[in-house]
């Protein structure tokens, strides 16, 4: 992944350092994070007599695209079009248990459960085909199997599965475990900045995001999620400062708490570094948080590269950089 970032940063090429009061720098950073463990995910796949298929899960699709990915997985196993898979959204009266939509776990944990549930349905469909006297290992559409078996368009096949990855708690003495997470998220970023040394203003002029996503189930959705996560992290890095007074947030308004707008987006490249996650569904793994890991430290590294000051708290506002520059020059701002 570092190679992917370095190539897009032209890392081995000469780099202009700026002149006068504007100084340029660049930095990279990578991070990795465990997903959450131990957890359980359960999925139900219901194949109806007309061949239409419904997936029941308790994963909340808040925009990350889990519905799309799960529909693709069911369709892949049952040889359907993904548009033909209907998703029933979380409802404790109806959908089976899931631990939660967090920790970048849905694609991996629920994805494994969905795949296994679809495979369970496929096994049962094959048994039904055998009962109907259809030859083995032929690919009859489900609707034909039902019709042949029951003499009319009737019946259902329900596949279900739970996915519970193995887990070993950290040792009480050493804090170590050789199986603390079912997969690791790995994300990184490369950043170029310009610093106005008179004001401390930081302008990000290039942002390269990369993440190891295993084998992406839907590359378009994955790339959008990687990009969105990095831009959100860029907001935390440069402008988002939640101020508290006596436990109360004092800037709870979009006028005072500045999230990135369309003018704040630097030229970006988003890179899915493909790998095979053997324990994941179809080689995939979670990506929800990976795009955030490298951004803040890469910006801080780039600032250090440009002007030699090391900022260690967020957000890295113009004021924070100017204070550090003045302190470095032995002329701290008067209120320090």
Q: Which is nearer to another protein, 154 or 242 (CB)?
A: 242
Which one from 83, 192, 240, 289 is the annotated catalytic residue?
Answer: 289
Contact 301, 28 (CB under 8 A): yes
Q: Which is nearer to another protein, 60 or 132 (CB)?
A: 60
In whole angstroms, the minimum distance from the beta carbon of 225 to another protein comes to 7
Alpha helices in the chain (DSSP H): 2-8, 66-78, 111-131, 142-150, 219-238, 295-307, 318-328
Is residue 289 part of the annotated active site? The answer reads: yes
Q: Which is nearer to another protein, 152 or 262 (CB)?
A: 262
In whole angstroms, the minimum distance from the beta carbon of 217 to another protein comes to 14
Q: Are strands 202-212 and 18-19 parallel, antiparallel or unpaired?
A: unpaired
Question: What does the binding site for another protein look like in residue numbers (CB under 8 A)?
Answer: 62-65, 220-221, 224-225, 227-232, 235, 253-255, 259-263, 265, 268
In whole angstroms, the minimum distance from the beta carbon of 65 to another protein comes to 7
Handedness of CA 283, 289, 291, 293 (dihedral sign): negative
Q: Provide the phi-psi class of 100: left if phi over 0, else alpha when psi is between -120 and 50, else beta.
A: left
In whole angstroms, the minimum distance from the beta carbon of 14 to another protein comes to 28
SS3 category, 331: coil
Q: Which is nearer to another protein, 46 or 290 (CB)?
A: 290
In whole angstroms, the minimum distance from the beta carbon of 69 to another protein comes to 13
Q: Which is nearer to another protein, 72 or 112 (CB)?
A: 72
Contact 24, 18 (CB under 8 A): yes
The DSSP result for 46-60, as a single string, is EEETTS-EEEE----
Tokens standing for 220? 């378009």
324: exposed, middle or buried (Cβ count in 10 Å: 0-12, 13-18, 19+)? buried
**Active-site residue numbers?**
289
């Amino acid at each position: 992944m570092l190679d992917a970032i370095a190539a897009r940063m032209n890392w081995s090429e000469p780099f202009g350092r700026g002149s006068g009061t504007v100084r340029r720098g660049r930095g990279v950073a990578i991070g990795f994070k465990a997903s959450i463990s131990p957890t359980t995910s359960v999925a139900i796949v219901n194949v109806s007599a007309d061949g239409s298929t419904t997936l029941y899960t308790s994963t909340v699709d808040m925009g990350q695209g889990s519905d799309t990915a799960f529909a693709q997985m069911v369709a892949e196993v049952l040889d359907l079009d993904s548009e033909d898979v209907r998703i029933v959204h979380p409802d404790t009266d109806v959908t089976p248990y899931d631990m939660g939509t967090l920790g970048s776990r849905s694609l991996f944990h629920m994805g494994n459960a969905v795949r296994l549930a679809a495979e369970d349905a496929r096994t049962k469909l094959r048994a039904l085909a055998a009962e109907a006297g259809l030859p083995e290992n032929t690919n009859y559409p489900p609707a034909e199997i039902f019709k042949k078996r029951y003499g009319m368009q009737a019946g259902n096949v329900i596949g279900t599965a739970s996915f519970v990855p193995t887990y070993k708690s950290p040792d009480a003495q050493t804090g170590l475990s050789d199986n603390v997470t079912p997969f690791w998220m790995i994300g990184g970023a490369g950043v170029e900045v310009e610093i106005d040394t008179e004001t401390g203003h930081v302008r990000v002029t290039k942002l390269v995001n990369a993440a190891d996503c295993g084998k992406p189930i839907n590359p378009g959705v994955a790339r959008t999620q990687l990009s969105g996560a990095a831009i959100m992290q860029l907001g935390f890095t440069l402008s988002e400062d939640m101020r508290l007074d006596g436990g109360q947030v004092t800037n709870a308004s979009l006028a005072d708490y500045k999230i990135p707008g369309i003018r704040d987006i630097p030229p970006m490249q988003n890179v899915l570094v493909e790998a095979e996650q053997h324990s994941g569904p179809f080689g995939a793994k979670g990506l929800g948080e990976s795009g955030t890991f490298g951004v803040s430290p890469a910006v801080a590294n780039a600032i250090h590269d440009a002007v030699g000051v090391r900022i260690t708290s967020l957000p890295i506002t113009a004021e924070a950089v100017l204070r550090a520059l003045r302190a470095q020059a032995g002329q701290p701002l008067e209120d320090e």
